[in-house]
Amino acid sequence: MTEVEAAITRVHHEEWARVVASLARRFGDLDIAEEAAAEAFAVAVEKWPADGVPPNPGAWLTTTANRKAIDRIRRESKRDDKHKEAQMLSDDEPPESLGAIDDERLRLIFTCCHPALAMETRMALTLRMVGGLTVPEIARAFLVQETAMGQRITRAKAKIKAARIPYRVPAAEDLPARVSGVLAVLFLVFNEGYLATGPDTDPVRHELTAEAIRLTRLIRALMPDDGEVAGLLALMLLTEARSAARVSATGELVTLVEQDRGAWDVAMIGEGHQLVRERLAAGVAPGRYQILAAINAVHTSARAVGDTDWSQVVALYDQLIRLDSSAIVALNRAIAVAELDGPEVALAAVDRLEEKLAGYHAYHATRADFLRRLGRSQESRAAYDKAIELAGNTAETAYLIRRRDQLGRV
């Protein structure tokens, strides 16, 4: 990859959401916003190798995308009023102030996460419009066919347009009803950045984790007393704090057990712990994100993996299961149980999840590790093979291959 190609890839990661959000505010149409943004990046791919990367790539892309959008309106519209509308648009049009916080990407998130859309559709649309993920990447994240995911996103944009869903941050009285869906989507965006799907993408996408944290901070400013907003922010910070130690120099995943804890971000951990303590002091029953944050607080409080209070981790998972009885939570609880009661007890719990998690790589990777620890190398190898087949991240794949190859031959 040339220096200019690398710059274009970096700028796409950093500027996509900003460009799309700006166009969505201006034209009120997600379809136009996405297409014009994509066309602007295509022009950059064509021109930047010869002309060089502009001093302000984001501004260059926004200007180019605006012109592309205006061209499309003029090209597609045959009615005089539409022609006039297009002619009235100018590149220096001042931004309209909408919502409690004037942040275009936050408004875009609330638009994509409107309750008129199904939850999975909200997540997919946000990953496309805000995260800039491709349809194939999103399809892999949801374990569905690419064509089906493309149709889902297209229908979502059409519904937003037909229902005239407003492009704004909701009024204060509407926020509580809307925020849970937004938090779920931001968590998914964060997770995609923390361990990205797709064999041809970076294993960690810091621009996505940073954007998810930034937007969650804005929502916390809107709702400072909401425990789940604080919990999600704490969870993100305590997770992101470990990112520098999570992928090796050779591009391999480094598990929590093997990580250099000296490389963790002390400031982020401190802020995350403070948020967890504040929620505990509030005396209100915690929600899902607060419990997940508390689990991460236990992990990040231990100076070494041997110092981890696994009984506390299992107790927190027991509390979480009462709120979220999903198979994923049960799988993660089993990993903690293995440290407390041994891999045999944990394996029995994991095997009960096969029907629900047979297509999930982490299920097979967890089984492989338990089987390895029990000396059942042949079964472990088969489980590693399945995990490698299903893994969608290069760092995870490299880690799983190494662990499989370390098994003694039977």
Residue 56 in this model has a pLDDT that exceeds 80: yes
Q: Would you state the pLDDT for residue 177?
A: 80
pLDDT at 220 over 70: yes
User: Collapsing DSSP states into helix, strand and coil, what is residue 247?
Assistant: strand
Residue range 70-94: average pLDDT?
Answer: 59
Question: What confidence tier does 266 reach under pLDDT thresholds 50, 70, 90?
Answer: very high
| pLDDT tens by residue, 3-48 | 888 888 888 878 888 899 889 888 888 889 989 999 999 999 999 9
Q: Is the pLDDT of residue 394 over 80?
A: yes
Percentage of the residues of the chain whose pLDDT score is greater than 70: 91
Please state at what angle helix 119-129 crosses helix 146-162, rounded to 10 degrees.
90
Task: Count CB atoms within 10 A of the CB of residue 80.
Answer: 8
> What pLDDT is attached to residue 104?
82
| Exposed/middle/buried for residue 3 (C-beta within 10 Å: 0-12, 13-18, 19+) | exposed
The reported pLDDT for the residue numbered 95 is 41
Where does the pLDDT of residue 91 fall: very low under 50, low under 70, confident under 90, or very high at 90 and above? very low
Mean predicted confidence (pLDDT) in 385-398: 91
Assign residue 267 a region: left if phi > 0, alpha if psi is -120 to 50, beta otherwise? alpha
Q: For residue 94, give the DSSP letter.
A: P
pLDDT tens-digit profile of 347-372? 999 999 999 999 999 999 999 999 99
- CA proximity to 17, closest of 150, 151, 138, 109: 109
* DSSP output for 142-196: HTS-HHHHHHHHHHHHHHHHHTT--SSPPPGGGHHHHHHHHHHHHHHHHHHHHS-
Q: Are 329 and 289 within 8 A, CB to CB?
A: no
**Predicted pLDDT of residue 222:** 84
pLDDT score of 146 more than 60? yes
Average pLDDT of the chain is 87
Distance CA 105, CA 219 (A): 12
Residues ≥6 apart with Cβ < 8 Å to 171:
100
Helix locations, 195-287, DSSP H: 206-222, 227-240, 266-282
Q: Residue 116's pLDDT is what?
A: 87
Q: Which residue has the higher pLDDT, 280 or 143?
A: 280
Q: Is the pLDDT of residue 87 over 80?
A: no
Question: Looking at residue 401, what is its pLDDT?
Answer: 95
The pLDDT value given to residue 192: 81
Tell me if 104 sits within 8 A of 21, measured CB to CB: yes
Q: What is the pLDDT of residues 229-255, one digit of tens each?
A: 999 999 999 999 999 999 999 989 999
Note the pLDDT of residue 226.
93
Predicted confidence at residue 232, as pLDDT, reads 98
Q: What per-residue confidence (pLDDT) applies to 194? A: 86
**Would you state the pLDDT for residue 138?**
82
- Locate the domains of the chain by residue range: 3-88
Residues in contact with 94: Cβ distance below 8 Å, sequence separation at least 6, in sequence order: none
Q: Cβ atoms within 10 A of the Cβ of 166, count?
A: 15
Model-level pTM greater than 0.85?
no
Task: Tell me the three state secondary structure of residue 75.
Answer: helix
Dist CA 261 CA 266 (whole Å)? 10
State the Cα–Cα distance between residues 111 and 98, nearest whole angstrom.
13
Highest mean pLDDT among 3-17, 106-120, 283-297: 283-297
Per-residue confidence (pLDDT) for residue 197, from 0 to 100: 66
CA of 128: how far to CAs of 14, 187, 215, in Å? 14, 15, 16
| Per-residue pLDDT at 86 | 47
Q: How far apart are CA 66 and CA 44, in angstroms?
A: 14
Dump pLDDT digits (tens) for 299-342. 999 999 999 999 999 999 999 999 999 999 999 999 999 999 99
